[in-house]
């Protein structure tokens, strides 16, 4: 390990992360370098890489994977690199490759997808506390940068608290808590439990970041107020509105155009670009089904840009013909969600997840 003094806990949070409140989540195929550039323009203060598979990253025969998942630049800081792993030595080998180009290394303990079950990582390590301790501790003892972790909660808050304290004792210097259990994902995600996050924050001596239920900029301060956390992480919310940390809901074409301009100079996989445009343009695409179908079939960057330009032209005409004026005084629907026209960036509302809550509870717990 480097002989320089490695900052820990709140020293790390205050000195390196600059007391950040706005965190862009690690997202597979979605928090790549180009997206991080865009997110930082609109207020993201700390960014995570997509989850990197430690074993694949260490495979020298798989250089293609290394170049696909890992790229950065001089202004891409503070940056936390996230790995998934189930073997301490392999995790350390992977982390040593990038420790000099980032500010911390994060262990993914929250991925609930089937691929994580098959690969035996993410949230599917949640019951193997001895292994988790070893994974975190080997990084803590051997890296020149701090180790952090991202977890999901257990159904029982007492178990979540013990789990979080174990992770802190292993050497984690910052903990992100996603307030959902492992089985809550996709359309079955339901509401994240901010009360559990609050209880974890009360017992730890390291910074705690909350994840879950962030649809609008106002939700960030609401979450901090209700949980006492140090910062808030946005995943899906930032994909549908890349400017979420700025408090703005801008025209979809503006954010799409900026992202594509970045991709002109930052090599980005076509599948990543298409995925981002589908999310940015999501509210508008049902009104332009022909372009939605074309976007799904494109094979070149130039084709994607042409479709985006055409969609921008159509939407600008619609916006000009409307009487809508965005002045931060947005009306809400009967469930408390903001009503935007379809050419404005807006969150994806998963209404089935809130089906058993009345309107008042939706607004208070969102």
Answer for the pair 12, 173: CB distance below 8 angstroms, yes or no. yes
305 is catalytic: no
Name residues whose C-beta falls within 8 Å of residue 47's C-beta, 6 or more positions apart in sequence: 23, 24, 31, 36, 39, 40, 76, 78, 79, 80
SS3 content of the chain, % helix, strand, coil (to 5): 50, 10, 40
User: What is 58-108 written as a DSSP string?
Assistant: H-TT-HHHHHHH----TT--SEEEEEE-S-HHHHHHHHHHHGGGSSEEEEE
Answer for the pair 232, 209: CB distance below 8 angstroms, yes or no. yes
Beta bridge partners of 151: 109, 177
Residue indicated by tokens 């928090």: 31
CA gap 7, 12 in Å, rounded: 5
CA gap 243, 35 in Å, rounded: 11
Marked catalytic residue, from 47, 102, 111, 263: 111
Answer for the pair 301, 270: CB distance below 8 angstroms, yes or no. yes
Please list the active-site residues. Answer: 111
């Amino acid at each position: 390990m480097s002989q320089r003094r490695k900052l820990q806990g709140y020293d790390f949070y205050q000195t390196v992360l600059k007391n950040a409140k706005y965190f862009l989540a690690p997202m597979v195929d979605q928090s790549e370098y180009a997206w991080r550039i865009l997110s930082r323009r609109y207020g993201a203060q700390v960014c995570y890489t997509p989850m990197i598979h430690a074993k694949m990253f260490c495979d020298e025969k798989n250089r293609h994977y290394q170049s696909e998942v890992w790229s950065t630049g001089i202004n891409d800081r503070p940056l936390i690199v996230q790995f998934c792993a189930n073997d301490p030595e392999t995790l350390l080998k992977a982390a040593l490759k990038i420790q000099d180009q980032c500010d911390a290394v994060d262990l993914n303990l929250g991925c609930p997808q089937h691929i994580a079950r098959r690969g035996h990582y993410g949230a599917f390590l949640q019951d193997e506390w001895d292994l988790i301790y070893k994974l975190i501790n080997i990084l803590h003892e051997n890296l020149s940068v701090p180790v952090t972790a991202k977890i999901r909660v257990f159904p029982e808050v007492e178990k979540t608290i013990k789990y979080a304290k174990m992770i802190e004792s292993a050497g984690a210097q910052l903990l992100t808590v996603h307030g959902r259990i492992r089985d809550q994902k996709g359309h079955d995600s339901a509401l994240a439990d901010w009360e559990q996050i609050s209880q974890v924050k009360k017992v730890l001596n390291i910074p705690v970041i909350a994840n879950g239920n962030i649809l609008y900029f106002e939700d960030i301060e609401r979450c901090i107020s209700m949980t006492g956390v140090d910062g808030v992480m946005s995943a899906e919310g930032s994909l549908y509105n890349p400017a979420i940390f700025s408090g703005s809901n801008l025209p979809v074409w503006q954010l799409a155009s900026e992202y594509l301009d970045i991709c002109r100079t930052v090599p980005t996989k076509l599948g990543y670009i298409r995925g981002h445009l589908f999310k940015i343009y999501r509210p508008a695409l049902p009104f332009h089904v022909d372009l939605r179908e074309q976007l799904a079939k494109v094979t070149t960057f130039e084709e994607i840009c042409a479709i985006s330009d055409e969609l921008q032209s159509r939407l600008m005409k619609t916006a000009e013909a409307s009487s809508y004026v965005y002045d931060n005084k947005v009306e809400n629907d009967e469930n408390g969600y903001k009503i935007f026209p379809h050419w404005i960036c807006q969150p994806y509302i998963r209404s089935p997840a809130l089906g058993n809550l009345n309107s008042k509870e939706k607004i208070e717990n969102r």
